[in-house]
């Protein structure tokens, strides 16, 4: 268990000041609104780091982030003792025990797991620059997550320049993005890599630095795939659809469009054909198959006891396409809506419920407006809306099926939350919200929402 020491605080403060100076220097080349958003976004992530630290220190007391720090700390200690041994430790494959590290690897819970052990090694390398300071290490991963969120924001801000204010709010302020990507967790690294992948894909679609964009996109996807295979697979499928529709909008030759459509469709079908295997592998990583019997027995014996108040169970005994189709709606509903207010038993569950209610209310206001039905054909042709919706639905189904408790679900759903926020913004900006703007319920800036034509689309 991590024991906080007051001596850790001064170095953490120095790290934050240095990082903020770097952010200020970078933002000086931006427009006033971008400059404001970048500095405010970084400040929010640092606030999220503080909240994350307090939650784990006083609420959880232990958990994944503490285990990752123990692994990173071992890399630090080994480096001080013998740099050569540290490099040998970092080169170890998951589950490959050696006599040299018999005092560590047999007792480190995440060593047998590929994704967790790889993340531990990444954290160990970064920890070398953080001088084995837990706070500094958390701040480093929070900064990585900020870079990913900023990349997503910048990409959509170029597509919808009149919606910068709304994009900032719905990307940086959701509780999932503010809290659960602000510390030493795989989710912080993954949201950073997802943002880099998406930004690189956009630059590739625009024909800007194609080689560099391909290398960044490929490298990020490979690293995501090594840590969370299901996330890399899902995001790649959605990116192909997005790039296809964006490119097809610029092609005039109908024959070429048809041939390209067939090729992309075949690629998509091949990826989808392996989708079930990826889902099953993800479930195995969470020990789903082994724990499902114990969870059922526990629920039968204790019912909805206080000890079982964060668990949920989705029946998934059949991984065939038909079996997945039967369970997918319940899984997606769980990921997007639950826990219900009456299911809340813990403070963190209340935050999750509040976040879901906020998004559901915004979506209801958008789709209930009379102009939504008139704009529906335009929505269906919008590649950005299609991408966001597809990614949210596919990843929502996977995490809903494989999480089995709301505590884990809060974290693993974070990669799609910025895109759900973007979906809300795009859907709202194409609907006339003037009647709400006058009541100061939406778009506090008071600027005209704009249309895709006005946004240069």
pLDDT exceeds 90 at position 23: yes
- In sequence order, the 6+-apart residues with CB closer than 8 A to the CB of 222 are 232
Q: Which residue has the higher pLDDT, 158 or 299?
A: 158
The proportion of the chain whose per-residue pLDDT surpasses 90, expressed as a percent, equals 33
What letter does residue 2 receive in the DSSP assignment?
-
Could you give the angle at the alpha carbon of 325 between the alpha carbons of 409 and 428, nearest 5°?
60
Query: CA 158, CA 164: separation in Å to the nearest integer?
Result: 9
pLDDT at 271: 64
Segment 144-154 mean pLDDT: 96
**Residue 417 pLDDT:** 94
List, as one string, the DSSP characters of 258-317.
HHHHHHHHHHHHHHHHTHHHHHHHHHHHTTHHHHHHHHHHHHHHHSS-GGGTTB------
Q: What tens digit of pLDDT does each residue of 209-226 get?
A: 889 999 999 999 999 999
> Would you state the pLDDT for residue 124?
92
358 vs 3, which has greater pLDDT?
Answer: 358
pLDDT of residue 3: 63
What is the reported pLDDT for 275? Answer: 58
Per-residue pLDDT at 450 exceeds 70 = no
What is residue 168's predicted lDDT score, i.e. its pLDDT? 94
Closest-CA residue to 283 (of 311, 309, 319, 332): 319
Q: Which residue has the higher pLDDT, 405 or 420?
A: 420
- pLDDT of 347: 82
Question: pLDDT at residue 441 above 60?
Answer: no
Q: Is residue 341 packed enough to be buried (19+ CB in 10 Å), middle (13-18) or exposed (0-12)?
A: exposed
Give the pLDDT of residue 222.
93
pLDDT at 398 (0 to 100): 86
What integer is the mean pLDDT of 312-339? Answer: 74
Q: How far apart are CA 34 and CA 30, in angstroms?
A: 6
How high is the mean pLDDT of the chain? 80
For residues 206 and 159, is the Cβ–Cβ distance under 8 A? no
pTM of structure: 0.83
Q: How confident is the model at residue 126 (pLDDT cuts 50, 70, 90)?
A: very high
Higher pLDDT, 341 or 20: 20
Q: Can you tell me the distance from the alpha carbon of 100 to that of 85, in angstroms, rounded to the nearest whole number? A: 8
pLDDT of the residue at 319: 54
Count the neighbouring beta carbons within 10 Å of the beta carbon of residue 371. Answer: 12
């Amino acid at each position: 268990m991590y024991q906080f020491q007051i001596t850790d605080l001064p170095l953490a403060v120095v790290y934050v000041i240095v990082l903020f100076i770097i952010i200020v220097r970078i933002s000086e080349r931006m427009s006033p609104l971008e400059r404001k958003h970048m500095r405010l976004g970084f400040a929010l992530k640092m606030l999220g780091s503080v909240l994350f630290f307090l939650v784990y220190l006083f609420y959880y007391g232990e958990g994944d982030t503490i285990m990752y720090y123990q692994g990173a700390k071992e890399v630090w200690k080994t480096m001080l003792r013998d740099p050569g041994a540290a490099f040998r430790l970092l080169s170890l494959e998951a589950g490959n025990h050696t006599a040299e590290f018999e005092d560590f690897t047999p007792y480190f819970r995440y060593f047998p797991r590929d994704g967790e052990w790889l993340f531990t090694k990444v954290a160990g390398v970064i920890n070398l620059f953080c001088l084995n300071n837990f706070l500094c290490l958390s701040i480093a991963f929070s900064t990585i997550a900020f870079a990913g969120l900023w990349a997503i924001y910048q990409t959509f801000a170029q597509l919808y320049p009149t919606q910068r204010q709304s994009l900032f709010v719905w990307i940086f302020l959701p509780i999932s993005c503010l809290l659960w990507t602000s510390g030493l967790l795989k989710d912080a690294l993954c949201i950073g890599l997802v943002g880099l992948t998406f930004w690189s894909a956009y630059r590739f679609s625009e024909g800007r630095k194609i080689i560099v964009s391909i290398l960044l996109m490929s490298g990020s996807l490979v690293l995501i795939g090594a840590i969370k295979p299901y996330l890399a697979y899902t995001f790649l499928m959605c990116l192909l659809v997005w790039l296809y529709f964006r490119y097809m909008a610029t092609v005039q030759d109908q024959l070429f469009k048809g041939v390209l459509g067939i090729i992309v469709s075949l690629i998509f079908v091949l990826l989808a054909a392996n989708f079930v295997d990826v889902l099953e592998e993800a479930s195995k990583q969470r020990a789903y198959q082994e724990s499902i019997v114990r969870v059922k027995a526990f629920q039968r014996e204790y019912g909805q006891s206080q000890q079982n108040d964060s668990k949920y169970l989705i029946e998934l005994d059949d991984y065939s396409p038909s079996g997945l189709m039967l369970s997918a709606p319940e899984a997606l509903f769980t990921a997007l809506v639950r826990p219900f207010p009456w299911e809340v038993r813990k403070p963190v569950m209340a935050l999750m419920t509040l976040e879901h209610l906020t998004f559901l209310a915004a979506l209801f206001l958008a789709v209930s407006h009379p102009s939504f039905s008139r704009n529906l054909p335009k929505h269906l042709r919008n590649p950005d809306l299609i991408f966001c919706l597809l990614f949210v639905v596919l990843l929502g189904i996977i995490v809903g099926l494989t999480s089995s408790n709301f505590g884990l679900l809060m974290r693993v759903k974070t990669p799609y939350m910025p895109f759900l926020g973007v979906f809300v913004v795009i859907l709202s900006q194409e609907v006339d919200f003037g009647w709400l703007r006058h009541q100061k319920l939406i778009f506090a800036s008071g600027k005209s929402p704009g249309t895709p034509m006005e946004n240069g689309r």
